[in-house]
């Protein structure tokens, strides 16, 4: 296809602002999906089918569009919506020349949309502003058109008004894409270079790699090379999604499509990498490739220790489709054998945990998530600490923690509560802008560790659900952090160790000690529960001793009742773990580790 006739774009939208519904109308209007095959959220449904291994998810749909007597080829590229996946978002944006900024006409801009809009602007994409759902009685298109115009610096009249539901305005939108989004440019004579913006695992076909060709072309049966690793593969299939996969003879400049090489692991075909031809390789990657970097770590342990091999197998399977997931075995005195798992963020952690529990039927205990610290000890040596147990003993010269820029969008009446919350989480205010008279954007610089716990839930409850949040890593900063250990009868319980700010260490210690005092049953002897920084005790509770004589409650008489009690006690013992000489019910670990 002549690059002049190609338009590549993505849709930037907040959850529920109507991206899938608008995509449905586009598929219909361009005729790639026939009316009788049409079902709501067409592309999302394909996603479910893909998971069952039937077809390929359409990360990039090709659609023809007639405009001024010419036929154009559109590639609509899907972008992941969540901050955890910002690297993938930025690679998807790289594959486009334009972006539709889709905003619900009854809701206005949200923090997520704003973050992706800024990213799109950084990538120099042409932005087409669109208000959606104008058919809704609650729609306030004039108000939000002004908000958007103020934000991106256009006239309110330039903001398109559409309804994905009724189809109103969608044809005009497609024409605007032809007129405003620039055609792709590239060097046809140069060695082939294509950028990978997504790579998914399909049970039947192996890894399906989505690329955007920048220079030259790739052909069927050609030998290709992954530039970051030098690995070579043969192209078994090359094609475009319409949205069903359709094999072609090749892909040229500006074209977006898929490659299949028979590899089985997405790590062999990494998002951000450049594909070139083996026969005539390019010298330089399109952009420097960046390995996905886990930001949050947590220990995952099977409740039933015998399920450790099942957990390993499950993690290995998930990794086939998730290059950002990494893990290594971990042994905890309290929780037994498990894995230390690195995630891109909390959502990534939750999704992974849910899949392990649902798809693999595992019951898991996860330890409190922590960020990655850089700790320099007295000798000047620096350690990457992803687990409190790796925290160096002895004197520490410096500790650095990851810092983010957080953006909150909220109705003006909630400015006070939001600031209070951010301040209590060691935030430093960076600025505040009114998007309109009623809505403000508040910016804070904050330690990532303060956001990964229950920040978002807290924010939601303080703002009656109106706040939206986004953040972006900006680097590391020194902080006065310490490791707090929890001791039972003088023995450290590794699963409860945490790295906290010095000012919060006492609170953490007191809270854990009193939780455990309530959760651990009395023993034959007194058990001190202590919290300590190094050898210094900062909190202490006592679990008082009892004589564990369950039979003394049954005065003589009923022998079968006595037997039952003894049986019950034996059952309970099985679920006990020993910490030194102290018996701790497994429930106590689970409850103490779950955030309340």
Provide, rounded to whole angstroms, the least separation between the CB of residue 41 and ligand GTP.
6
- The 3-state secondary structure of 94-133, one letter per residue: HCCCEEEEEEECCCCCCHHHHHHHHHHHHCCCEEEEEEEC
Span interacting with ligand GTP, options 17-25, 174-182, 363-371, 386-394, rule CB under 6 A: 17-25
Q: Does 136 bind ligand GTP (CB under 6 A)?
A: yes
Provide, rounded to whole angstroms, the least separation between the CB of residue 106 and ligand GTP.
9
Q: Is 19 annotated as a binding residue?
A: yes
Scanning residues 42 to 81, which ones bind ligand GTP (CB under 6 A)? 81
Sequence-distant (≥ 6) Cβ neighbours of residue 309 within 8 angstroms: none
Write the DSSP assignment of 545-573 as a string of letters. Answer: -----GGGGS-SS-HHHHHHHHHHHHHHH
Q: Does 18 bind ligand GTP (CB under 6 A)?
A: yes
* Tokens 């309804």 found at: 163
Cα separation, 435 vs 439, in Å, equals 6
Write the DSSP assignment of 408-452 as a string of letters. Answer: EEEEGGGHHHHHHHHHHTT-EEEEEEESSSSEEEEEEEEEHHHHH
Span interacting with ligand GTP, options 129-137, 251-259, 287-295, 379-387, rule CB under 6 A: 129-137
Q: Is 16 annotated as a binding residue?
A: yes
Helix (H, G, I), strand (E, B) or coil at 278: coil
Q: Does 140 bind ligand GTP (CB under 6 A)?
A: no
Q: Is 134 annotated as a binding residue?
A: yes
Cβ proximity to ligand GTP: between 18 and 388 the closer is: 18
Q: Does 325 bind ligand GTP (CB under 6 A)?
A: no
Residue 218's alpha-carbon distances to 209, 255, 429, 461, in angstroms, are: 13, 10, 49, 52
Residues facing residue 67 across a β-bridge: 70
Provide, rounded to whole angstroms, the least separation between the CB of residue 2 and ligand GTP.
32
Provide, rounded to whole angstroms, the least separation between the CB of residue 166 and ligand GTP.
7
Q: Does 500 bind ligand GTP (CB under 6 A)?
A: no
Sequence-distant (≥ 6) Cβ neighbours of residue 252 within 8 angstroms: 1, 3, 188, 213, 217
Of the candidates 99, 76, 78, 97, which has an alpha carbon nearest to the alpha carbon of residue 88? 78
Cβ proximity to ligand GTP: between 18 and 345 the closer is: 18
Cβ proximity to ligand GTP: between 130 and 505 the closer is: 130
Q: Does 338 bind ligand GTP (CB under 6 A)?
A: no
Span interacting with ligand GTP, options 9-17, 253-261, 472-480, 492-500, rule CB under 6 A: 9-17
Cβ proximity to ligand GTP: between 127 and 335 the closer is: 127
Q: Does 537 bind ligand GTP (CB under 6 A)?
A: no
Provide, rounded to whole angstroms, the least separation between the CB of residue 130 and ligand GTP.
11
Q: Running DSSP on this structure, what letter comes out for residue 284? A: S
Helix (H) or strand (E) holding 373: strand 373-377
Q: Does 209 bind ligand GTP (CB under 6 A)?
A: no
Tokens of 86: 């910002």
| Cβ atoms of 499 and 482 closer than 8 Å | yes
Cβ proximity to ligand GTP: between 25 and 577 the closer is: 25
Q: Is 21 annotated as a binding residue?
A: yes
Scanning residues 155 to 174, which ones bind ligand GTP (CB under 6 A)? 163-165
Cα separation, 415 vs 409, in Å, equals 10
Q: Does 19 bind ligand GTP (CB under 6 A)?
A: yes
Provide, rounded to whole angstroms, the least separation between the CB of residue 115 and ligand GTP.
15
Q: Does 132 bind ligand GTP (CB under 6 A)?
A: yes
Cα separation, 103 vs 129, in Å, equals 8
Cβ proximity to ligand GTP: between 15 and 190 the closer is: 15
Tokens of 307: 């399920």
Q: Does 16 bind ligand GTP (CB under 6 A)?
A: yes
Which residues participate in the annotated binding site for GTP?
16-21, 132-135
Q: Which residues bind ligand GTP (CB under 6 A)?
A: 13, 15-21, 41, 81, 132-133, 135-136, 163-165
């Amino acid at each position: 296809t002549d690059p002049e006739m190609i338009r590549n774009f993505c849709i930037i939208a907040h959850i529920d602002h109507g991206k899938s519904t608008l995509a449905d109308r586009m598929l219909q209007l361009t005729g790639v999906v026939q009316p009788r095959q049409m079902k709501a959220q067409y592309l999302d449904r394909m996603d479910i089918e893909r998971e069952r291994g039937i077809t390929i998810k359409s990360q990039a749909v090709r659609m023809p569009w007639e405009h001024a007597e010419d036929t154009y080829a559109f590639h609509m590229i899907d972008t992941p919506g969540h901050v955890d996946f910002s690297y993938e978002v930025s690679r998807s944006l790289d594959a486009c020349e334009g972006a539709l900024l889709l905003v619900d006409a009854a809701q206005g801009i949200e923090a997520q949309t704003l973050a992706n809009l800024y990213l799109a602007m950084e990538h120099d994409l042409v932005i087409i502003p669109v208000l959606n759902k104008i058919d809704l009685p609650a729609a306030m298109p004039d108000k939000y058109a002004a908000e958007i115009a103020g934000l991106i610096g256009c006239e309110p009249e330039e903001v398109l008004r559409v309804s994905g539901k009724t189809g109103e305005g969608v044809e005009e939108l497609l024409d605007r894409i032809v007129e405003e989004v620039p055609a792709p440019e590239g060097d046809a004579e140069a060695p082939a270079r294509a950028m990978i913006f997504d790579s998914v695992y399909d049970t039947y076909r192996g890894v399906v790699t989505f690329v955007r060709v920048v220079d030259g072309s790739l052909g069927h049966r050609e030998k290709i090379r992954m530039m970051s690793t030098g690995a070579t593969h043969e192209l078994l299939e090359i094609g475009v999604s319409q949205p069903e996969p359709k094999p072609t003879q090749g892909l040229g400049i500006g074209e977006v499509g898929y490659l299949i090489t028979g590899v089985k692991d997405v790590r062999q075909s990494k998002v951000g990498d450049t594909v070139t031809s083996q026969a005539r390789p390019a010298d330089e990657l399109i952009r420097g490739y960046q390995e996905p970097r886990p930001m949050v770590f947590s220990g995952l342990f099977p409740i039933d220790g015998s399920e450790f091999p099942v957990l390993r197998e499950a993690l290995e399977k998930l990794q086939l489709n998730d290059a950002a997931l990494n893990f290594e075995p971990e042994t905890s005195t309290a929780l037994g054998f498990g894995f230390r798992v690195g995630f891109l963020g909390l959502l990534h952690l939750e999704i992974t945990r849910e899949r392990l529990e649902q798809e693999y039927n595992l019951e898991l205990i996860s330890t409190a998530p922590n960020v990655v610290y850089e700790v320099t000890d007295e000798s000047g040596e620096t350690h990457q600490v992803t687990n409190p147990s790796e925290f160096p003993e002895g004197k520490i010269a410096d500790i650095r923690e990851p810092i983010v820029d957080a953006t909150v969008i909220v109705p003006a009446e909630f400015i006070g509560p939001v600031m209070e919350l951010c301040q209590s989480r060691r935030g430093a205010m960076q600025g505040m802008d009114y998007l309109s008279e009623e809505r403000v954007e508040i910016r804070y610089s904050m330690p990532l560790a303060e956001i990964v716990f229950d920040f978002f839930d807290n924010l939601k409850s303080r703002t009656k659900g109106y706040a939206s949040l986004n953040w972006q890593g900006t680097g590391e900063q020194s902080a006065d952090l310490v490791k707090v250990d929890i001791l039972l009868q003088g023995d450290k319980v590794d699963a409860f160790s945490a790295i906290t700010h010095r000012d919060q260490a006492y609170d953490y210690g007191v809270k854990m000690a009193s939780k455990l005092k309530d959760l651990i049953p009395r023993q034959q002897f007194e058990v001190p529960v202590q919290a300590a920084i190094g050898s210094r005790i900062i909190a202490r509770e006592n679990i008082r001793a009892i004589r564990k004589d369950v039979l003394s409650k049954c005065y003589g008489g009923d022998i079968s009742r006595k037997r039952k009690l003894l049986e019950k006690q034996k059952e309970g013992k099985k679920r006990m773990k020993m910490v030194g000489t102290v018996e701790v019910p497994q429930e106590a670990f689970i409850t103490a580790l779950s955030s309340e």
